[in-house]
Chains A and B, each alone.
Chain A
């Protein structure tokens, strides 16, 4: 190689030489197939780079078409097997207003679990009678509103039962209530902290009390088994147990149960970290669930045809199965590194601050550009100054460069609600309308959003030397300018 001592640009970017074997034939996330690069140029029909240019990165992109199709498909699966069914949209799964209203337009009730969620549903224009009020912490004030507006209140504990009764009595009303139950189906870990336990007799006692109260109308039974339930038979057992309890209390108390609410928990096509096989191989179809649920319901309510009792309405509160794959996250590579153990790594502009679900899912990650070489085991870090901010511990990706776009999916469930206001601003969320138009449905945060709730006591109005003689410095001018926007201040001069 010729000697050349004059300054020149290196021909090659420095990186220690490195070779990595392909583990062909070993089982991996993709089953036994050799991993292939997943590449997309557009999401929900819109060009990724165009979206980034118009709305910035990171960016949540939501599909109206997919969301409507999902809820229609799930509702149909139940409705064709059990005519009287209804979906309750679990707000906490994704409470972006546009998402909620799309589902309300599709006929979904609002399933809310706090004063905030209740007020949000009402602010969106959902009438009280179309609200299911769940959750273990409903304060008196919001219960007064819910009772007055005719919401269906799902009781979680005896103190709440007494409180709702007192509120209804004070209003001279009869509150519509359901009992949230917990019990062991033998399939999944029981969520015994919510509602009244069946095996211990707590639920029977609550039913007795509610039935005896002139201010409570016990009209429903509710239970939520847990989340990402991969075994349809768990729901069969749930429905069986609930129907048995319904029959029992209807014969011992003066009540008529007309709602059986089986909660949520249907899985989405996402890859749980604890499960080795890909979701396509482990997630049963919605029809398998509907078959077991409605089949059991038909079986367990057959006796009602010999009585004068009607068939109960079946309510399901699916969250993730409805919204998860209706949203993706576009993120950009900020920089790349080679870790000491040889793995490739990239720092992204989105991390667990936006993708809370990265703690339990291995999201799909797709590249968007031209093919750029062989795949290698890569770690994807987020932008936070936290070691646990990892979007993917291990994913097969081609060599990445700063500025590259990645599409992470599915992300529609529990991210737009559990994301953190930590270190970074939260970005735009856009909706791809059914006609292909795109609009912002949640605007990116800026400093005014981040500081809107802060209040500065007068003596803390400036960061430096608020008290005369305590020492001034050259930042005063800047501090003065900033503080003016917050509060009256005292600042020492010269």
Chain B
């Protein structure tokens, strides 16, 4: 992912916008601004939680790598892809 794309995605789903999302334990996500709902898987929920706490992309990837015991690079590229996805929906 190019830096500018990522920056765009990140800016769209950063801060308040993300904190507004209601995320349930079962992975049900509700966006009160649009009324749209989503399903997020367990790893996605973890990343959302990190991002909502205003952790940056790297910290979220670090969390993911540790909790799932996978290499940091793998976690990082997955979080980038996840952010692109979020950027499309929010």
Residues of A within 8 A of B (CB): 1, 4, 8-22, 24, 338, 342, 371-376, 399
Contacts and interface: CB of A to CB of B under 8 A. Distances in A.
A12 B40 contact: no
A374 B27 CA distance: 7
Contact of A16 (B38, B63, B78): B78
B46 A17 contact: yes
Main secondary structure of the interface of A (DSSP, over half): loop
Contact of B41 (A18, A371, A372, A375): A18
A50 B85 CA distance: 42
Given A10-B68, A17-B64, A19-B89, A376 B39 contact: yes
A12 B67 contact: yes
A111 B80 CA distance: 63
A1 B63 contact: yes
B36 interface: yes
B37 interface: yes
Given A10-B69, A16-B81, A19-B89, A375 B39 contact: yes
B8 to A, nearest CB: 17
Contacts of B38: 19-22
Contacts of A19: 29, 38-41, 44, 48, 82, 85-86, 89
Contacts of A24: 37
22 contacts: A1-B62, A4-B66, A8-B69, A9-B69, A10-B69, A14-B68, A14-B70, A16-B78, A17-B43, A17-B46, A17-B47, A17-B78, A18-B40, A18-B41, A18-B44, A19-B48, A19-B82, A19-B86, A21-B38, A22-B37, A24-B37, A372-B26
A14 B70 CA distance: 8
B37 A12 contact: no
Contacts of B9: none
A3 to B, nearest CB: 9
B43 A14 contact: yes
B50 to A, nearest CB: 9
A11 B36 CA distance: 30
A181 B74 CA distance: 66
A19 to B, nearest CB: 5
A12 B85 contact: no
A373 B85 CA distance: 21
Contacts of A338: 41
Contacts of B63: 1
Nearest to A376: B39
A14 B81 CA distance: 15
Interface string B49-80: 00000000000001110111110000000110
Contacts, number: 86
In the A-B complex, the 9 residue pairs with the closest CB atoms: A17-B44, A10-B69, A373-B26, A374-B39, A14-B68, A17-B82, A16-B78, A17-B43, A11-B67
A60 to B, nearest CB: 32
A11 B62 CA distance: 14
Given A17-B41, A19-B89, A22-B39, A12 B46 contact: yes
Contacts of B89: 19, 21
Interface of B: 26-29, 36-44, 46-48, 62-64, 66-70, 78-79, 81-82, 85-86, 89
A399 B42 CA distance: 10
Nearest to B37: A22
Contacts of B42: 12-13, 15
A338 B82 CA distance: 14
A17 B79 CA distance: 7
Nearest to B89: A21
Contacts of A1: 62-63, 66
A341 to B, nearest CB: 12
A284 B43 CA distance: 46
A114 to B, nearest CB: 49
A16 B86 contact: no
Contacts of B85: 18-19, 342
Contacts of A18: 40-41, 43-44, 82, 85
Contacts of A373: 26-28, 39
Given A19-B89, A374-B26, A13 B68 contact: yes
A19 B90 CA distance: 11
A368 B41 CA distance: 21
B39 A12 contact: no
Given A22-B39, A24-B37, A373-B27, A12 B68 contact: yes
B32 to A, nearest CB: 15
A16 B85 CA distance: 12
A374 B37 CA distance: 10
Nearest to B39: A374
Contacts of B44: 17-19
Given A1-B63, A1-B66, A374-B39, 16 more contacts: A11-B67, A12-B43, A12-B68, A14-B69, A15-B41, A18-B40, A18-B43, A19-B29, A19-B41, A19-B44, A20-B40, A22-B36, A342-B85, A372-B26, A374-B28, A376-B39
Nearest to A20: B39
Contacts of B28: 373-374
Contacts of A21: 36-38, 89
Contacts of B40: 17-20
A37 to B, nearest CB: 11
Contacts of B70: 10, 14
